[in-house]
Amino acid sequence: MFNQRVKIKQLLSGTPVGTDVVVMGWVRTFRNNQFVALNDGSTNANIQIVAELGKFDEAILKRITTGASLKIKGTVVESLGKGQAVEVKANEIEILGDSDAEKYPLQPKKHSLEFLREKAHLRFRTNTFGSVFRVRHSLAFAVHQFFNERGFIYLNTPIITSSDAEGAGEMFRVTTLPLEGAPKNDKGEIDYTQDFFGKSTNLTVSGQLEGELGAMAFSEIYTFGPTFRAENSNTTRHLAEFWMIEPEMAFNDIEDNMNLAEAFIKYLIEYVMKHNEDDLVFLDARLAEEEKQLPTEKRSGFGLIEKLKMVLENGFERITYTEAIDILLNSNHYKKKKFTYDVKWGIDLQSEHERYLVEQHFKKPVIVTGYPAAIKAFYMRMNDGCEPGKETVAAMDILAPGIGEIVGGSQREERLSVLEARMTAMDIPLDEMSWYLDTRRFGSVPHAGFGLGFERMVQFVSGMTNIRDVIAFARTPNNCEY
């Protein structure tokens, strides 16, 4: 058996002095021809390997370069140096893989995130991305644990869909038809009956509609999978391929929905604070360093861990859309005409408005409910007793400081006639959506759900400002390396 090694995280957290160990990892630095800082990704902390002078061949020592992989047999000893409590005194050094020092792009120094983005295949070996992706893993694990503890069924909704009624964004087409000379029908349009599925298909933009079908049997389900949007979005918070978590709960209304979403976000944060303390401490310091470079007015004013604690300790502010508009209209910001976009009832809130509410006014996450029906999707439940012309739906968005919309959800329209009327008004073909409408025909119940953008959650918890730095291989317009 090759692998009898001890992971560095475990080694550093209490392997007794005097133990013989096997350690493997990649060289971060090699100092003084004697001291190797070795890292295996289990933690940002390195184990110091000591190669005593004269004990090893010069030829072997020459091959210990940044990025090379080593297998070390040695003994755990108390360190004579100051930087670490223990170190491994090497008896055997095996070079598993060489790393040409002239070509290896990562140096023991600070690199820009932009540079590392172009070296996405190697950036996992840096402290920042080590921490980010360990935090991402913990968040993913916590997602499953949270729902599992509450009896939710993990439902895998399809990646390829024929439904194009969702309206969540531009879609990527899935086809096996040739680009040149695709078969045409009598109308001169591409004949999708000859395509692989016998119809036009796309990559999913949301698993929600299928998720609702599951909720109508299991009571509570969640999805957690990749989602695709072919929007030409070039921002720090959009990806063409991203991961989304979409719980859907029967016998739940909009308030239950908000309660669950808030509990969920807090659970995720709490989990990471408990299991990734070292990584958060590192990311906290990294963010503080980054913010030092910013002009004062762009700084968040508090640290990463401080922010996460504040979210855990304080409830999310809950306001209606109408209240949000009033707050904006009464703000000095508005009176001094500092908003680029005008504020009045009926508009979709612009990011500057959301940011004002979250970052200036409340200074904590805000849940906005009761949006105008005209600006929201067909499946959201019409609120009863609205003033004519001011119809609202039971929608809710959770806005987070620095990220903006992190959750979008709603109570769904369970009344068949109301839903059909809305779909007709919005030109959504009822016959194609018959399978969806069946949920309202056969034992319809009040139900609700939401979508949480996983990468935005990772951004929020890690403090990374660009979404491309919290997914392993980012897909954005004009960028599909690896």
Partner RNA sequence: UCCUCCUUAGCUCAGUUGGUUAGAGCAUCUGACUGUUAAUCAGAGGGUCGUCUGUUCAAGUCAGACAGGGGGAGCCA
Pick out residues in 346-405 that bind RNA (CB under 7 A). 348, 350-352, 355, 404-405
Per the listing, tokens 């001011």 go with 390
Which of 74, 446, 451, 463 is close enough to bind RNA by CB under 7 A?
451
Per the listing, tokens 């030829």 go with 59
Which of 80, 186, 389, 417 is close enough to bind RNA by CB under 7 A?
80
| Distances from the Cα of 443 to the Cα of 242, 250, 382, 438, angstroms | 33, 11, 19, 9
Q: How far is the CB of 235 from RNA (least distance, A)?
A: 4
Which of 83, 97, 158, 301 is close enough to bind RNA by CB under 7 A?
83
Q: Which listed range, 27-35, 191-199, 274-282, 329-337, lies at the site for RNA (CB under 7 A)?
A: 27-35
Give the nearer residue to RNA in terms of CB position, either 192 or 393: 393
Give the nearer residue to RNA in terms of CB position, either 73 or 355: 355
Which of 146, 192, 242, 316 is close enough to bind RNA by CB under 7 A?
242
Greatest Cα pair distance, the chain, in angstroms, is 88
Which of 204, 206, 331, 369 is close enough to bind RNA by CB under 7 A?
206
Q: Which listed range, 124-132, 179-187, 227-235, 359-367, lies at the site for RNA (CB under 7 A)?
A: 227-235
β-pairing verdict for 173-174 and 160-161? unpaired
Interaction between residue 134 and RNA (CB under 7 A): no
Question: How many chain residues are in contact with RNA, going by CB under 7 A?
Answer: 71
Interaction between residue 102 and RNA (CB under 7 A): yes
Give the nearer residue to RNA in terms of CB position, either 41 or 169: 169
Interaction between residue 428 and RNA (CB under 7 A): no
Query: Rounded to whole angstroms, how far apart are CA atoms 88 and 67?
Result: 19
- Return the residues of window 104-123 that contact RNA according to CB under 7 A: 105, 107-112, 114-115, 117
Rg (CA), the chain: 27
- Return the residues of window 287-346 that contact RNA according to CB under 7 A: 341
Q: How far is the CB of 82 from RNA (least distance, A)?
A: 4
Interaction between residue 466 and RNA (CB under 7 A): yes
Interaction between residue 99 and RNA (CB under 7 A): no
Q: How far is the CB of 344 from RNA (least distance, A)?
A: 15
Q: How far is the CB of 400 from RNA (least distance, A)?
A: 9
Query: Rounded to whole angstroms, how far apart are CA atoms 168 and 154?
Result: 22
Query: Rounded to whole angstroms, how far apart are CA atoms 106 and 66?
Result: 8
Provide DSSP, 320-377: EHHHHHHHHHTSHHHHTT--SS---TTSPPPHHHHHIIIIIIISS-EEEEEEEGGGS-
Query: Rounded to whole angstroms, how far apart are CA atoms 373 and 394?
Result: 9
Which of 156, 194, 232, 314 is close enough to bind RNA by CB under 7 A?
232
Backbone dihedral region for residue 261 (phi beyond 0: left; psi -120 to 50: alpha; all else: beta): alpha
- What are the structure tokens assigned to 171, written together? 């879609």
CB atoms within 10 A of CB 377: 21
CB half-sphere exposure, 478, CA atoms < 13 A = 3
